[in-house]
A and B are shown apart, each in its own frame.
Chain A
Amino acid sequence: MSTSTPAPQPSSSGAPTSMPPAGRVATKDRPHGGVGDRLRLWWDALPRPTQWLVGVPFVLFMALVPILNIPVLTTVGTNFGGVMAQFGMIALIAIGLNVVVGQAGLLDLGYVGFYAIGAYTVAILTSPDSPWNQAGEGHWLGREWAWLAALPVAIAITSLSGLILGSPTLRLRGDYLAIVTLGFGEIVRLLADNLDELTGGGQGLRGVAYPRLGVTEDLPNGVFSAGNAAGTLNSGVWWYWLSLVFIVISLLFVGNLERSRVGRAWVAIREDEDAAEIMGVPTFRFKLWAFVIGASIGGVAGALYAGQVQFVIPTNFNVINSVLFLCAVVLGGQGNKLGVILGAFIIVYVPNFFLGRTELFGIPINGNEIASYRYLFFGLALVVLMIFRPQGLIPVRQKLLTYGRELYVAARRSAHVVAPRGGSDGGARPGTPAVATASGGAGGAAPVAGGPTADGPGTARSTTNEEETR
C-alpha cells in the first residue's frame, strides 16, 4: 500500500516502467505553450548590458503608465492611478502567494489573513480609533513617519503569524492544508470583527497614517494623502509608485531565493516531497520559510492598503479575496513571478476597465452593466482557461541556479545548430529508452554503450525542435 501514490492521470502509473508515463507523453506532444519560455530563453541569451537596456526602460514605462493617459487603456469610471495602486498591492500579494503556492506547492486558501494582519497592524498602531494608537502629535511614532515606522512592525508581525500558522499546520499535506489555511484566513477576519475594542470590529479603524511627503500649500497632507485627488499625479499614482518599489525589492529578494538552495528545495518539495526529504532537503524548515516569506510580503501589501485607504474593516478580508488572489496566481502562470503580476493586473484591471465606459472602439456598450456581471465572466474565463491553458497565461520554468547561465545559453545555441539538420528525421519521440544516451565530449568517463557525441541526439530532439522553430 505504501506504493499507492495517486497520480493525477490514471494512465500514468499503469504503463510499464520502461515507457515514460502516458500522461506525460501527452503533455509533451503539445509543442505550444512555450511563449513565456521562449521569452525567457531569449532574455537569458542576451548579454547583461542589453538586459539592462531593455529592463530599465520597461520598468520605467510601467511606472509611467498611469500618467501617460493612454486612450483606451485608461479607465473611465475609476481613477486610473487608484486602479494601478490597487494593482500594485495585488501584484505584491501575488508575488508572495506565488512563493507559497507556485514555488513550494503549498495550497494556501487563507492568504488574505496575512494581508489583513499587515493592514491591521498598521491601523492599530496609527489609527486614532485604536486603543494602541502610537501615531499623531505627542505620541511615540509622531505624525510624519508613523506609517513608515509601522511598516517593519507589520512585516515582523505577519512573519510571526506565518510562523504561528505554519509550524503546527505544515505537517498536513495537500487538501488538509488548504482547508486549515482557509480556516485561518476566516479566523483572522472574525477576530478583526469580534475583538471590537482593539480593531473597531465592524466599524473598522479610521484615519490610518500614511507617509506625509511632498507637503505643499495645495496639499497640506502630502502627495500620499487621499486629498491629493486632482490631476494626473494624484495619490493613487504615488501609491502605485511606492508599491512598485516594494515589488522590485521583493522580486529581487524572491529571485535571489529562487536561484538558490532555497528555491530548489521549494521546487523539489513541490515535485515530490518525500523524495526531496530523502535527498537531504529539510522539507519542514523550507516549507515554513516559504510560509514566512509569503506572509511577510502579504504584510507589506496589507500595510500599503491600510495607508492608502486609511481605513480598514473586516469585510475587505473575506475568503473571496483569498480565492481571487489564488486566481491571480494561477491565471498568470504559477511559479512564474512575471506571470503572477500579469494575473494580478488582469484581476484588478479588467472589471475597472468596463466600469463607466459607454463606448469601446466606437461601439456603444453599457460598461456598468458589463462590470456588474464581472464575476460571471470571471468564473467563465477561469473555467475556459483551465480547460485550454491550465498552465496559465505566461508559464515559465523557474531558473533555480545562481550560475550556470552559460550552460543554458550553450544548449540554446546548439539547438539552433541541430534543429535544421534533424528536421527531416522526425520518427523517434524523445523519451523512448531505445534512444541512445547522450554523452558529451567527455568520452571515456562515461561507460555507456552507444551514444555518439553532440550531434547524435539530433534524432531524439528533432521533432520538438522542428516544431519549435516553426
Chain B
Amino acid sequence: MHRTARRASGGAALLLAATLVLTACGPQSQGGGGDETTGTSTETDDGGSTELSIVPSVQIDIEGAEVEATEGGDPADPAGDGSAECAEGTAIAMAGALTGPNAALGLNILYGAQLAVDEFNAANPGCQVTIKEFDTEGDPQKATQVAPQIVGDASVLGLLGPAFSGETAATGDVFSQAGLLSLSASATNPDLTKNGWTNFFRGLANDAVQGPSVAKYLVNTKSFGSVCVVSDNSDYGIGLAQQITEGLGDAANDECAAEVKTGDKDFSAAVQIISGADADAVFYAGYYAEAAPFVQQLRDGGVDIPFVSADGTNDPQFVSQAGASSEGAILSCPCGPAPDDFAAAYEESAGQAPGVYSVEGYDLATIMLSGIASGVADRAGLIDYVANYSGDGLARTYEWDSAGELAAALIWIYEVQ
C-alpha cells in the first residue's frame, strides 16, 4: 500500500478540513514498515511491532503422536535434468473454478501448476508443455459440459483436477472411461476413491486421515478435555468436522458445536455459544476467509481458549486478516511447509502470495511433467507413471495406494507465532 505524504494529505484535502491534514499526518508518521503479505505488523501508538507468521512446529502420525521430522526429503524439481524430449503440442489440462465465487481456490492451483510448467519449459527446450485451462466455475453441471472437451482434446495427456469434490463426483465417469489421468489437488471427500476409478488420484490426505490425527494430537498431546467443533457448510468443512468430532470422542463438546456458512463474516452467535460453554479449545473446519473473522470475533468476545484449524486455514491470508488475534493458533496441514524460494517464485509468477493448494498444484504438475520428461507420451502411460510414482514434493512425499489415496500421510502441525 502506498502511503506517501502526498496521498495522505490529498485524501485529507478531499475531505475538506484543513485541520485534518495535521491530524492525518499523525498516523502516517507512525506507519512503520510492515510486510504486507506474509507477516503482519502490530502497530500501536506505543510503538513496538511484532511479526506473526505460520511456523511449523511438529509432525504427527495417525495416532496423533509426534514424529521426528525426517530431514532431508529432496523435493522434486520440475526442471528435471533439462534433457526432456516430447512431441510438439503436448499439454496437460487444469480444470476447476477459475471464475465465479469459488475462483480463488482454482486459481491457486492453476498458478502453482503454471509455475511448475514454466520452470519445466525454461529448462527443457526440447519439450514445451502447455497447460490448458478449463473453467468449471465449481459448478457440477458446468463441469459435465467441460469434461467432454478435455477428453476430446487429444493433446491433453493428464488432468490436474477437478478441484472440488462435487464436480469430481459428477465427471469422474467421463475421465475414467476416457482413461485420462485425474489428479486432484483439492478434492477431499473420502468417498471419491471408492468409485473404482483407476485414473483418479488425489494429492493430499483425505479428511479421514487428517481428522483423526489432529483429534488425537489435541486430546493426547495438548490434553484438551473439551473442544468446540465449528464447521462451515462446505464439503471440506463438513467432512473434516465429522472426522474430528469422531476422533475427539468424548472430548468433543456437543453444547458448543456450531455450523456456519461459507461467506459469513459474522459469527457472533457462535462466539456467544462458545463463550457460554466451558471448553478448552475451538476447532474450526473451514477456510481462512471465515476463520480470520471468526478468530478475531472470538478474541474480541473475550474467548481466549486456543484456536485450532486445519489446512483450509493454513494460509498467510489468515494471519494478515486476523492480525494479533491469530497469535497462538494451531493449524494442521497434510502439507509440508512451503520453502521461501517457492513463495517468492510463485509471487513473481502469479502476482499474489501462494494460497491454499498452491503447493499441491505445483507438486502435482511437477509429477506429471516428470512423467512426460521420462518419455510418457500417452494417457495410459501417464496413469501408470503416477500409480507407480514415489517421491518427495514440496509439501510431502507422494506415493499412492491402489485406490488413489496417498499411501503415507503424515500431518504437520503449525503454530502462528
Contacts and interface: CB of A to CB of B under 8 A. Distances in A.
Interface in B150-181: 151-152, 165-166, 169-171, 173-174, 176-178
Most A C-beta atoms less than 10 A away, residue of B98, B142, B259: B142
A225 to B, nearest CB: 6
Given A203-B189, A356-B134, A229 B233 contact: no
A202 B234 contact: yes
A309 B135 contact: no
Given A81-B148, A236-B144, A372-B98, A355 B170 contact: no
Contacts, number: 112
B177 to A, nearest CB: 4
Interface in A213-248: 221, 225-227, 229-230, 234-236
B140 A311 contact: yes
A86 B141 contact: yes
A201 B239 CA distance: 10
Contacts of B64: none
B140 A229 contact: no
A229 B147 contact: yes
Given A77-B134, A226-B173, A310-B170, A203 B148 contact: no
Contacts of B233: 193, 201-202, 314
B173 A225 contact: yes
B239 A82 contact: no
Nearest to A128: B191
A230 B152 contact: yes
Contacts of A81: 148
Contact of A368 (B98, B165, B169, B174): B98
Interface in B233-247: 233-235, 237-239
Contact of B171 (A226, A230, A236, A305): A226
B29 interface: no
17 contacts: A78-B142, A82-B145, A86-B141, A193-B261, A201-B233, A201-B238, A202-B232, A202-B233, A202-B262, A204-B166, A206-B191, A226-B170, A236-B145, A236-B148, A314-B233, A315-B138, A368-B133
A79 B147 contact: yes
A342 B176 CA distance: 35
B198 to A, nearest CB: 14
A369 B413 CA distance: 39
Nearest to B192: A206
A83 interface: yes
Contacts of B140: 309, 311, 313, 316
Interface of B: 98-99, 133-135, 138-142, 144-149, 151-152, 165-166, 169-171, 173-174, 176-178, 189, 191, 232-235, 237-239, 259, 261-262
Most A C-beta atoms less than 10 A away, residue of B134, B139, B166, B232: B166
Dominant secondary structure of chain B at its interface with chain A:
helix
Contacts of B171: 226
Contacts of A204: 166, 169, 235
Contacts of B151: 229-230
A203 B174 contact: no
A435 interface: no
Nearest to A310: B170
A196 interface: yes
B380 to A, nearest CB: 16
Contact of B135 (A194, A206, A355): A355
Given A310-B169, A371-B135, A374-B99, 18 more contacts: A76-B149, A82-B146, A82-B148, A83-B145, A193-B233, A201-B238, A202-B234, A203-B238, A226-B170, A227-B177, A229-B148, A229-B151, A230-B178, A305-B141, A313-B140, A316-B139, A316-B140, A372-B135
A469 to B, nearest CB: 45
A85 B145 CA distance: 9
